[in-house]
C-alpha cells in the first residue's frame, strides 16, 4: 500500500480511517506456513475480528482460535456454506476455544458443536463436564513469559507438575484430553520462551503417556512477534528454533497447532488521521488529531504498544506531542514524535496498526470508531 493510495482513499472516505490490505494478510499467512510447515495456524480472532479478515484467512487455509461466544459465531457464520455433514468436522478441525475460563452459558451454547476447549484447573474441568460434556479438552500449561510485551502466565496456565493429575481427573470425569497448550506471552521477542515451553510440554506429554493417556495435539499458542521495528529478530530465526525442538522432542504423528494473531494482521493495516488542533505547550509543539487511544490507538492502552506517526508533508522535523480528540488527559498518542510543522487539516498516518487497535475501539466521548476499508479482498 503506497502513500499515494492512502491519500486517495482518505479523500474518498475521510478521516479517521483504517485501511486493511488483504494481500498482506495472505502474504503473512504464507510466511507463517512456509517457515512452520508442520504447524496449522489457528488465527487468534481477538487480534482483529473483522469478518472480512476471517474469510480471507479461511480461504487461505487457516483455522481459528476464539475466546468468546461472539468470536465463535463470527467464524461459524462464515462457514455456513459447507455441506451439513461437513459442519462438525469443520468445527473440530477449524476452531479451538482457547480461553481457559468460560461462563456456564457459553459452555451450554457451545456443547452442541462438540468444541475443543482449554482449561487450567479442576474447577473449570468440572464446569466443562457439567455444561459441555461433548467437548474435547486441552490442558494449558503455565510457561515462562519473560521478555514478552504482554505477560499471560500470572493469569492462565496450570503448573506443569499438576498437569498430568488434571489429565487423569478429566478422564475420570468422562472427558477426553486431546491436547496440551501453552502461551509464551504476546509479542514474544525472547525466543527462549518457546524453547523452554516446548521442553515443558514434552515432559508433560511423556509423563501422561506413562500413566496411560496418549496426547494427540500440541498447541504452541501465540506470541509470534510482528516486525514493528528493527529490534525484532526475523520470524525465520524463531521458526528454526521451534522446528528443531519439535523434531527433537515430539513423535511424528502428533498434530501441532498454533494461535498467531498479531503476526498475521499487524503489518496489514495503516491508519490516517487529520490534525484538528495545534498549540505550543511548555515550549513543545502539540498536535491534536481526530482519533484517540479510545479508538484506533487503543493498543497504546490495552496492548502496551506504541505506534509512530508520520506526515505526508515534508519539512524539518521537531520533537512534538500528539494528543487524541477526547477530553480525557489519558488520551496521549505520543509525547515524542518527530514531525514537521503541520497545520490544521494536514494528515498523519501510522503503519503496522492491524492488531489490537480498531478491534478494541470504543465510542467514548461520543466519537465513533474510524471507518475501515478493506483492499484486495
Whether 193 and 185 have beta carbons less than 8 Å apart is answered as yes
Q: Which of 188, 286, 320, 327 is catalytic?
A: 327
> How far apart, in whole angstroms, are the C-alpha atoms of residue 357 and residue 49?
11
State how beta strands 332-339 and 318-323 pair.
antiparallel
Q: Distance between terminal CA atoms of the chain? A: 14
The total number of residues shown for the chain amounts to 377
How far is Cα 267 from Cα 160, in angstroms, rounded to an integer?
Answer: 34
Specify the pairing of strand 269-281 against strand 347-350: antiparallel
- Is 327 known to be catalytic? yes
Nearby residues of 352 by Cβ (< 8 Å), 6 or more positions away: 226, 227, 228, 266, 267, 269, 270, 307
**Hunting for cell 496521549 — which residue is that?**
332
Q: Which of 286, 315, 301, 285 is nearest to 362 (CA)?
A: 301
Query: CA 205 to CA 220: how far, in whole Å?
Result: 13
Cell numbers of 194, please? 518457546
Using DSSP's 3-state secondary structure scheme, residue 337 falls into strand
**What is the spatial distance between Cα 38 and Cα 337, in angstroms, rounded to a whole number?**
42
238 with 223: CB under 8 angstroms? no
Catalytic residues: 327
Amino acid at each position: 500500500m503506497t502513500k499515494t493510495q492512502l491519500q486517495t482513499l482518505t479523500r474518498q472516505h475521510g478521516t479517521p480511517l483504517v485501511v486493511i490490505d488483504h494481500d498482506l494478510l495472505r502474504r503473512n499467512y504464507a510466511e507463517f506456513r512456509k517457515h512452520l510447515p508442520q504447524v496449522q495456524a489457528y488465527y487468534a480472532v481477538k487480534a482483529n475480528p473483522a469478518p472480512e479478515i476471517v474469510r480471507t484467512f479461511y480461504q487461505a487455509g487457516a483455522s481459528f482460535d476464539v475466546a468468546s461466544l461472539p468470536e465463535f459465531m463470527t467464524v461459524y457464520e462464515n462457514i455456513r456454506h459447507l455441506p451439513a455433514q461437513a459442519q462438525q468436522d469443520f468445527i473440530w478441525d477449524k476452531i479451538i476455544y482457547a480461553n481457559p475460563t468460560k461462563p456456564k452459558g457459553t459452555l451450554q451454547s457451545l456443547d452442541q458443536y462438540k468444541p475443543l476447549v482449554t482449561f487450567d484447573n479442576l474447577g473449570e474441568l468440572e464446569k466443562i463436564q457439567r455444561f459441555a460434556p461433548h467437548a474435547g479438552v486441552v490442558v494449558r500449561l503455565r510457561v515462562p513469559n519473560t521478555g514478552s510485551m504482554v505477560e499471560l502466565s500470572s493469569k492462565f496456565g496450570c503448573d506443569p507438575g499438576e498437569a498430568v493429575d488434571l489429565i487423569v481427573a478429566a478422564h475420570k470425569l468422562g472427558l477426553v484430553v486431546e491436547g496440551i497448550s501453552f502461551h509464551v506471552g504476546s509479542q514474544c521477542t525472547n525466543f527462549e520462551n518457546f524453547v523452554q515451553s516446548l521442553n515443558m510440554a514434552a515432559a508433560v506429554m511423556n509423563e501422561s503417556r506413562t500413566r496411560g493417556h496418549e496426547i494427540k495435539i500440541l498447541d504452541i499458542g501465540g506470541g509470534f512477534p510482528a516486525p514493528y521495528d528493527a529490534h525484532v529478530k526475523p520470524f525465520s530465526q524463531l521458526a528454526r528454533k521451534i522446528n528443531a525442538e519439535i523434531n527433537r522432542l515430539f513423535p511424528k504423528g502428533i498434530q501441532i497447532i498454533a494461535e498467531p494473531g498479531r503476526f498475521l494482521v499487524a503489518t496489514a493495516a495503516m491508519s490516517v488521521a487529520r490534525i484538528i488542533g495545534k498549540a505550543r505547550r511548555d515550549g513543545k509543539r502539540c498536535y491534536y488529531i481526530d482519533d484517540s487511544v479510545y479508538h484506533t490507538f487503543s493498543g497504546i492502552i490495552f496492548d502496551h504498544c506504541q505506534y509512530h506517526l508520520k506526515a505526508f508533508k515534508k519539512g524539518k522535523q521537531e520533537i512534538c506531542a500528539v494528543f487524541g480528540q477526547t477530553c480525557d488527559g489519558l488520551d496521549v498518542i505520543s509525547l515524542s514524535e518527530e514531525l514537521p510543522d503541520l497545520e490544521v487539516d494536514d494528515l498523519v498516518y501510522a503503519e503496522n496498526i492491524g492488531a489490537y487497535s480498531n478491534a478494541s475501539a470504543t465510542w467514548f466521548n461520543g466519537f465513533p470508531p474510524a471507518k475501515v476499508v478493506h483492499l484486495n479482498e
